[in-house]
Amino acid sequence: MNRFRRTLIVATLVLLGGCAPGPAGTGVPVAAPAPPPPGATPTGAAPAATAPSGEFNDTDVMFLQMMVTSHGQGLALVRLAPERAEREELKILAAAIDVTQESEQRTMRDWLTGWGRTTSADPDANVHAEHGGLPVLGPAQLTALSKSSGTAFETDFLNLLIGHQHSAVELARMETKSGVHPEVRELARRIDVSRTAQIDQMLGMLPKAG
Amino acid sequence: MRRTVVLAVTTVATVLSALLVAPQAAQAHGYISSPPSRQALCAQRAVSFDCGQIQWEPQSVEGPKGLRNCHANIGHFAVLNDDSRPWPATSVGQTVNFNWVLTARHATSLWEYYIGGSRIAVFDDGGRQPGATVQHTVNMGGRSGRQKLLAVWNVADTANAFYVCVDLQIGGGGGNPNPNPTPTRTNNPTTPPPTTAPPPAGGTWRAGTAYQVGSQVTYGGATYRCLQPHTAIAGWEPPNVPALWQRV
């Protein structure tokens, strides 16, 4: 039954072109990159050089794909701050998150491309979907937020970004627990500690009495 | 099992989560960020004692519905329910706005607020998915002085709820929230209060320092120049964030 279920899952992933696991879908580490998706640069060309060497497993791939997608949502959020926030400390933090996450996203895409994997996950995928949770950040939320300003914007912005970074920490801990690739695990460790510190800072920026 | 299979072929999201559930038993998540709840204070290390594990996952105080304590009967979060600890209380008026941080928008039945044994407010979401941000305005009903408020987020489609305690110092009959000075940060190893950045002449990189463009620091024997203003945090060490620091 378990095997049947796994086969179905893998088949579904292949059909939908989503977050593809390793060839067997078994979680066994694989050393060689899978064939690149159609339209990707042929194996042996430049991108392969950017992939970190060494064995990687399904969790490494899944983590990178979901984090690339998560970063996209986070970047859309922090880019609202320069126009709409008032406090300088909040704008400074948002701008620093913008440049660091953009840089991380570039690195993660390069690694995935080098491994011949798609460079993002389905945007609706999130760690809470299994029990009915929707991701907190979507186009509707961003649109609503982009219509507010001042203190109301700052309070909503901080609560959204804190929640978003909590989710990033959860993904990172999945990788440090089950991923095998040293560089990916190290990236996850840094994401865990840096987002935890950002959450600490942002909680301190919230108005105390709501 | 049959249901799992059906779902697996139905949606990508379910497939992804099925794969994710295996490596981590993800639970979901939310807490009150302002006025700061006990777990929010722990996450900021804005208390004078060690909170333990809760500081790393303030969103995880989940337990069966119907409990009336601060830690959802989770042993390693028991500190949250320990009223003998010096929890800072936030000064408020008779009307208080409670803001939630959510990491997932679970279908919700009731949001409940208790003081003592009394339920002082309830908000019925009727099984709907809440908005991405949740704020409730609650009247303190004439109570005054120090009070421990318990808030409960009842998830509609599971047997579970999230539990949050907030310590309040309720002032006299004023109708407006009465902002309180920030609780004193006493023990904060990762982000001490920002200090003024040293001039470009140098200094060792240190978390908690606010750096300006052009600030220079040493880290691991190398010198780096700041490219983007920021307050340094763990995980943003100069060699790890080329977007913030350039090696000189």
Considering only CB atoms, A12 lies closest to which of B8, B129, B229, namely B8
Q: Which of the pair, A21 or A68, is modelled with greater confidence?
A: A68
* Sign of CA pseudo-dihedral A198, A200, A205, A207: positive
A178 min Cα distance to partner chain B (Å): 6
Dist CA A171 CA A149 (whole Å)? 31
Contact (CB<8Å) A197/B233: yes
- Following DSSP, what letter does each residue of A122-170 receive, concatenated? -TT--TTGGGTPBPS--HHHHHHHTT--HHHHHHHHHHHHHHHHHHHHH
Dist CA B207 CA B241 (whole Å)? 14
Contact (CB<8Å) A199/B46: no
Q: In the prediction, which pLDDT does B135 show?
A: 94
Least confident piece of the model among A49-58, A71-80, B10-19, B184-193? B10-19
Dist CA A102 CA A195 (whole Å)? 15
Please check whether the domain covering B189-248 is classified as CATH 2.10.10.20: yes
Q: Which of the pair, B206 or B105, is modelled with greater confidence?
A: B206
Dist CA B60 CA B47 (whole Å)? 19
Q: Which of the pair, B187 or A163, is modelled with greater confidence?
A: A163
**B175 touching chain A per CB within 8 A:** no
Residue A47 has pLDDT above 60, yes or no: no
Residue A56 has pLDDT above 80, yes or no: yes
Average pLDDT, chain B: 83
Residues of chain A with Cβ-Cβ distance to B155 below 8 Å are: 132
Architecture per CATH, domain A58-121+137-210, reads as Up-down Bundle (1.20)
**B7 touching chain A per CB within 8 A:** no
Residues of chain A with Cβ-Cβ distance to B44 below 8 Å are: 200, 203-204
Contact (CB<8Å) B103/A206: no
Architecture per CATH, domain B27-170, reads as Distorted Sandwich (2.70)
Contact (CB<8Å) B28/A141: no
> pLDDT tier at B84 (50, 70, 90 boundaries)?
very high
- Tell the residue number behind the tokens 């949001």, with chain if given: B111
| Helix, strand, coil share (%) of chain B residues, nearest 5 | 15, 35, 50
Q: In the prediction, which pLDDT does B104 show?
A: 80
Considering only CB atoms, B56 lies closest to which of A141, A196, A210, namely A196
Q: In the prediction, which pLDDT does B168 show?
A: 97
Least confident piece of the model among B71-80, B172-181, B220-229? B172-181
Dist CA B19 CA B141 (whole Å)? 48
State whether residue B126 is helix, strand or coil.
strand
Q: Which of the pair, B236 or A125, is modelled with greater confidence?
A: B236
Contact predicate B152/B163, CB 8 Å? yes
Contact predicate A25/A9, CB 8 Å? yes
Residues 6+ apart with CB under 8 A from A113: A40, A41, A47, A50, A51, A119
> pLDDT tier at A139 (50, 70, 90 boundaries)?
confident
State whether residue A70 is helix, strand or coil.
helix
pLDDT in tens, A179-207: 999 999 999 999 999 999 999 999 999 97
The identity of residue A202, as a single letter, is M
B201 min Cα distance to partner chain A (Å): 23
* Sign of CA pseudo-dihedral A122, A127, A130, A136: negative
The residue-averaged pLDDT of B71-89 equals: 97
Indicate the helix (H) or strand (E) that contains B95: strand B95-102
Average pLDDT, chain A: 77
Give the rounded percent of residues in chain A with a pLDDT score beyond 90.
56
The residue-averaged pLDDT of A115-132 equals: 66
Q: In the prediction, which pLDDT does A103 show?
A: 97
pLDDT in tens, A58-105: 999 999 999 998 999 999 999 999 999 999 999 999 999 999 999 999
Indicate the helix (H) or strand (E) that contains A89: helix A88-114
Output the six-digit token pair for B50: 């060690």
Indicate the helix (H) or strand (E) that contains B146: strand B145-155
Among all residues of chain B, which has the CA nearest to that of A183? Answer: B240
Q: In the prediction, which pLDDT does B157 show?
A: 86
Q: Estimate the crossing angle of helix A2-16 against helix B12-21, to 10 degrees.
A: 130
State whether residue B101 is helix, strand or coil.
strand
Q: In the prediction, which pLDDT does B202 show?
A: 63
Burial of B72 (0-12, 13-18, 19+ CB in 10 A): buried
> pLDDT tier at B103 (50, 70, 90 boundaries)?
confident
B27-170 and B189-248 in the same fold: no
> pLDDT tier at B178 (50, 70, 90 boundaries)?
very low
Contact (CB<8Å) A204/B180: no
Question: For chain B, which residues make up each domain, given as ranges?
Answer: 27-170, 189-248
> pLDDT tier at A120 (50, 70, 90 boundaries)?
confident
pLDDT in tens, A145-158: 989 988 999 999 99
Q: In the prediction, which pLDDT does A140 show?
A: 80
